[in-house]
């Protein structure tokens, strides 16, 4: 028998636990308390995570086992032993996002997912809808929690960026969804590539699905049976390229993101005149650390792409850099993805490239890159060393790119912290090294 589909409104009279007390868990606790429910709260950090929080392995897991329902944080794998043990004892494990979506008017909610491009596409969609006169909030994995009682609901639409973690935990979906891409990611959470793909695309097949607007790629067309009853594959048009230009987004990969966003708008609103869409694109603020230009160091362009946490966005970014000299900073938390496609993309570059592998998985990424007359690989011990050696190699001309192709876990608080440290390290060179006078360091 399938688990019951529960919204927050259905939790009254039930004992409820929260497993994981980060941003999502704190918002869930506030939502429950507003409804008169005092949850059992458990986190690996125990009381250091907050007053009254139980440590998972010091009685917390047992306390959750006595609950009727547990709202699990997305970061905790549904396949973890702790979660399996709760389910084996009859506890319904779900998510706060699932509860919120169950209660919502889903005809006014759009879910956006993909291995790369989901954050940008969700942001584009929200921006265009707002500029077209429809009050729209962009929430979810992008950092704004829709069920936080302090978040005012929009009057028209809600766009939810959905990670693979969040997608797996949803009990239902929305009539219209957008899918930007598919590749490999989060294998430490999902266990296998196949399960990652199935979990991520499950939003297209759960109760309530009607139409998926899908980027027209060979990889996604091959997965058509997983994309719901009527997937619509959309390829970029001249209009999409014009909208991307008006948004201020460089690189052909953004044209595909715009195509998905525009396809969703047509499903929601019907046809919209081309000139209205192009006009609506003005004023767009790109995502922080998504291939963002940092003030240059003389003739050296500096790009912060810290949000590139898997190979696909790194590959997409490289494709927009042309044939100039590039010092590429890669590496971060290891989660088992295949870096061979990144190695192949680097091999196709025409310009000289220095690939600097940072902890902890820098060596594994470098192992996928074949050194050549134009490609040099170097293993470094820190972000600071990577910046120093990258600038020395560029010697005053080219592009320095932080595009790690891996998450920041274990070395930084999050991708924002990684970006801030990168920018600070670059800024330090503004006061110590005059433009065009970078000392040529030894590479290799």
Q: What is the dihedral of CA 78, 87, 26, 95, to 10 degrees?
A: 60
Q: Mean of the per-residue pLDDT values for the chain?
A: 92
Residue 416: CB atoms within 10 Å: 15
Greatest mean pLDDT among 77-86, 140-149, 310-319, 333-342: 77-86
What is the DSSP annotation of 283-348? T--PPTTSSEEEEEETEEEEEE-TT--SHHHHHHHHHTSTTS-EEEEE---------HHHHHHHHT
Range from 8-22, 53-67, 210-224, 283-297 carrying the lowest mean pLDDT = 283-297
Characterize 47-57 residue by residue with b for buried, 16 or more Cβ atoms within 10 angstroms of its Cβ, and e for exposed: eebeeebbbbe
The percentage of the chain sitting over the pLDDT mark of 70, rounded to a whole number, equals: 96
Q: What's the pLDDT band for 60 if we cut at 50, 70, 90?
A: very high
Range from 97-106, 213-222, 267-276, 406-415 carrying the lowest mean pLDDT = 406-415
pLDDT tens profile 272-315: 999 999 999 999 988 788 888 899 999 999 999 998 988 988 99
219 pLDDT above the threshold of 60:
yes
Dist. CA 113–CA 277, nearest whole Å: 22
| 301 Cβ neighbours under 8 A, 6+ residues apart | 293, 398, 399, 400
Q: Where are the domains of the chain?
A: 8-98, 104-280, 292-431
Structure tokens at 33: 């308390």
Instruction: Name the nearest CA neighbour of 359 among 316, 314, 408.
Output: 408
- CATH (one of 1.10.3720.10, 3.40.50.300, 3.40.50.920, 3.40.1190.10) for 104-280: 3.40.1190.10
Characterize 265-293 residue by residue with b for buried, 16 or more Cβ atoms within 10 angstroms of its Cβ, and e for exposed: bbbbeeeeeeeebeebbeebebeebbbbe
Dist. CA 41–CA 28, nearest whole Å: 10
85 CB-contact burial (10 Å; exposed 0-12 / middle 13-18 / buried 19+): middle
pLDDT tens profile 398-436: 999 999 999 888 889 888 899 999 999 999 998 765 544
Q: Check: CATH 3.40.50.720 for 8-98?
A: yes
Sign of CA dihedral 357, 363, 366, 371: positive
Q: What's the pLDDT band for 390 if we cut at 50, 70, 90?
A: very high
Predicted TM-score of the model (pTM) = 0.82
Dist. CA 428–CA 22, nearest whole Å: 33
pLDDT tens profile 140-181: 887 789 999 988 788 899 999 999 999 999 999 999 999 999
Cβ 260 vs Cβ 159: under 8 Å: no
User: What CATH topology corresponds to 292-431?
Assistant: 3.90.190
Dist. CA 372–CA 353, nearest whole Å: 10
Q: Is there a common fold for 8-98 and 104-280?
A: no
Q: What's the pLDDT band for 335 if we cut at 50, 70, 90?
A: confident
Cβ 171 vs Cβ 56: under 8 Å: no
Give the position of tokens 């994995």. Answer: 141
pLDDT computed for residue 441 by the predictor: 41
């Amino acid at each position: 028998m399938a688990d019951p589909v529960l919204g927050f409104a259905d939790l009254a009279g039930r004992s409820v636990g929260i497993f994981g007390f980060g941003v999502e868990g704190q918002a869930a606790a506030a939502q429950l308390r507003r409804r008169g429910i005092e949850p059992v709260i458990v986190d690996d950090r125990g009381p250091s995570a907050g007053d009254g929080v139980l440590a998972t392995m010091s009685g917390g897991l047992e306390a959750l086992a006595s609950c009727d329902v547990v709202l699990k944080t997305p970061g905790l794998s549904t396949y973890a032993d702790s979660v399996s043990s709760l389910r084996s004892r009859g506890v319904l494990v779900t998510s706060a996002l699932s509860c919120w979506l169950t209660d919502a008017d889903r005809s006014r909610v759009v879910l956006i997912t993909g291995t790369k491009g989901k954050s940008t596409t969700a942001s584009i969609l929200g921006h265009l809808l707002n500029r077209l006169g429809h009050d729209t909030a962009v929430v979810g994995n992008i950092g704004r929690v829709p069920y936080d009682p302090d978040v005012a609901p929009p009057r028209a639409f809600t766009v939810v960026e959905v990670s693979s973690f969040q997608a797996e935990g949803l009990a239902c979906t929305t009539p219209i969804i957008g899918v930007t891409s598919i590749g490999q990611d989060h294998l430490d959470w999902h266990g296998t590539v196949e399960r990652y793909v199935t979990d991520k695309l499950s939003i297209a097949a759960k109760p309530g699905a009607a139409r998926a607007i899908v980027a027209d790629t060979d990889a996604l067309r091959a997965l058509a049976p997983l994309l719901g009853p009527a997937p619509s594959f959309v390829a970029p048009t001249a209009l999409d390229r014009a909208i991307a230009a008006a948004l201020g987004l460089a690189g052909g990969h953004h044209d595909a993101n715009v195509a998905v966003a525009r396809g969703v708008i047509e499903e929601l609103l019907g046809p919209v005149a081309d000139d209205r869409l192009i006009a609506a694109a003005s004023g767009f603020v790109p995502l922080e650390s998504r291939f963002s230009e940092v003030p240059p160091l003389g003739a050296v362009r500096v790009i912060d792409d810290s949000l590139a946490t898997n190979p696909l966005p790194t590959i997409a970014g490289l494709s927009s850099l042309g044939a100039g000299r590039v010092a590429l900073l890669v590496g971060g938390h290891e989660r088992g993805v295949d870096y061979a496609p990144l190695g192949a993309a680097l091999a196709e570059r025409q310009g000289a490239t220095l690939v600097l592998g940072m902890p902890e998985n820098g060596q594994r990424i470098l192992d996928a890159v074949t050194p050549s007359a134009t490609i040099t690989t170097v293993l470094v011990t820190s972000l600071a060393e990577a910046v120093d050696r990258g600038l020395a190699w560029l010697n005053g001309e080219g592009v320095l790119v932080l595009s790690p192709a891996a998450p920041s876990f274990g070395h930084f608080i999050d991708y924002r912290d990684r970006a801030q440290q990168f920018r600070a390290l670059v800024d330090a060179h503004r006061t110590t090294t005059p433009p065009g006078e970078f000392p040529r360091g030894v590479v290799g």
